[in-house]
Chain A
Amino acid sequence: MTTTRIPVLAARGLVKTFGRVVGLDGVDVDVYAGEVLAVIGDNGAGKSTLIKCLTGALVPDAGTITADGAEVAFRRPQDARDAGIETVYQTLAVAPALDVASNLYLGREERRPGILGSVFRMLDTPGMRSRAEKAVRDLGIDTIQNITQPVESLSGGQRQAVAVARAAAFGSRIVVLDEPTAALGVKESNQVLALIERLRENGLGVILVSHNMPHVWQVANRIHIQRLGRSAGVITPSSHTMAEGVAIMTGAAAA
């Protein structure tokens, strides 16, 4: 945990417009290490736009983003990834026919040391498999028994676990999860929520975008409410009830 309370990721005055449509209208957000910040809001409130700006999928028109106090400019997702920010997309972004280990290392494969790697470009498949196995074990994901099985043979919750494991294995600052429980049943949702808590225990900052209020109130430390492209306030599960949160989200009440 940080003692100085410098946010691991912070944004000030983010603006993003799409033609005449205003996606973000000057939004501030702070995420600290070892906390789960939930982002809630109605459809069109700017949740996705905010997340995309924080993960490099969109470039904001105005505003600044800082990582551990230093200003950063994300022009593409790879930039955010290089800064230790990993995203679990709603579509999961896994290649179904590839196995679990290949998916964990997709886009950042590691090569064999020496001439096999440098000249013959040979992948370090055994190394990646064992490290993938360790990453999965460290997260306590016991539902994935075989790291060499193709992802398409997994259930929805297991696929989600693969995507979360990938983010956790490479994210050194922040893991962003976009609607991670939307497609899951009760049991699988609970497994993913347990994973989120484990990421927090490991000292990562977690941004959780969700429509599911019980899930948000269950795991979030703080809740950022988006409304009409602006921040309508930041609350905590103890300061406000779910109903009060929803009231702020819909504009029926002020924060």
Chain B
Amino acid sequence: MLGLTTDEPGGAAAELERRRRAPAQRAQHLLHSHPALSPAIILLLTCVAFTLLNDRFAAPAALSLLIQQTAIVAALAIGQTLIILTAGIDLSVGAIAVGSSMLAAMLAAEQGVPAPIALVIGVAAGLAAGGLNGLLVTRVGLPPFIVTLGTLSVFTAVVLIYTGGQSVPGADLPDLLSWTGTTFPIGDFRLTYGVVIVALMYVVVGWALSRTAWGRHVYAVGDDSDAARLAGIRVNRVLFSVYAVAGLIYGLAAWVLIGRAGAASPNAIADANLESITAVVIGGTSLFGGRGGILGTLLGALIVQSFAVGLSLAGVDDQYRLLAVGVLVIAAVSVDQWIRRVRA
């Protein structure tokens, strides 16, 4: 309110109030207009701290590993971010990605389907699964939590029935499917093609969110869906597109997953749901919708992974990583609540 209204300052009391609130107001406005700022600061502090603990953290080898390990959760978290921006949640993230990877791998390895076609079918299955979530949310009108809780079980069961719980070993996979795990050097760093794919996904979705009408509608729907509807936005169409695009992203992430794991397993990425939500929340995107972005999510995913790499380099038990991440999640949501309170 202060500094934004034309009302004349009331007097001494108002002046005092202004002086007391100004720094908090400024911080709030800064965080509001740059939601990726707080995760960026946290990531910076984390990296500095771990480098001080063990200078191997900042070495290209460790950073390369950090980036490769972050790629899959970072990819899944793009879709999760889109859905959370609309005030939804997706619990079927991991199930869809695993389903896509198993379908592509089984088709190629056991049915003899040519690798490119198997890959396209696998990715398309992700799109279809996301579309099913979208239909249930928009047509049947169920809460996203319930829809994706249900499809989590359904997709997981379908995948286990289809695969009989068996993995497809790397030796049986065509080169195209495991291509995403191939490394190439950039200076002293070693990255994989999977990392490049994920980076491209961030660029494309980042563009769509910040530079297109669709992106603005995603924010508006999450912010206040009634207002969006009255403003002429087709809310259900936007919501459906978000779930479908998220499914497509999970399908592409499945390809990266096969390359990273070097095989396709129905039991892969068991923690993907919580890890993707964690990355989104630490990245400053509000669970209430309409606030945040994927840059923050990328930083959030990097923060979580840098704890894993940094703590193991420091010789600390991995359980402390969980502890630290838990504290971060609560802190991140507290900051979000604070941003919403101060503005009033």
Contact = CB atoms under 8 A, between A and B. Distances in A.
B214 to A, nearest CB: 7
Contacts of A108: 232
A121 B232 contact: no
B20 interface: no
A96 B32 contact: no
A110 B228 CA distance: 17
Given A78-B232, A106-B233, A155-B5, A95 B224 contact: yes
Contact of B223 (A89, A92, A97, A122): A97
Given A95-B224, A95-B290, A109 B216 contact: yes
Contacts of B186: none
Interface residues of B, number: 29
Contacts of A150: 32-33
Query: Main SS of the interface on chain A?
Result: loop
Interface string A86-98: 0101011111111
Interface in B25-47: 29, 32-33
B207 interface: yes
A120 interface: yes
A122 B217 CA distance: 14
Interface in A136-163: 142-143, 145-146, 149-150, 152-155, 158
B231 A123 contact: no
A114 interface: no
B213 A152 contact: no
Given A94-B227, A95-B220, A121 B214 contact: yes
B232 A102 contact: no
Contact of B213 (A87, A123, A142): A123
Ranked nearest first, the 4 interchain pairs of A and B with the lowest CB-CB distance are A107-B232, A93-B230, A109-B213, A107-B231
Interface of B: 1, 4-6, 29, 32-33, 207-208, 211-214, 216-217, 219-220, 223-224, 226-228, 230-233, 290-291, 343
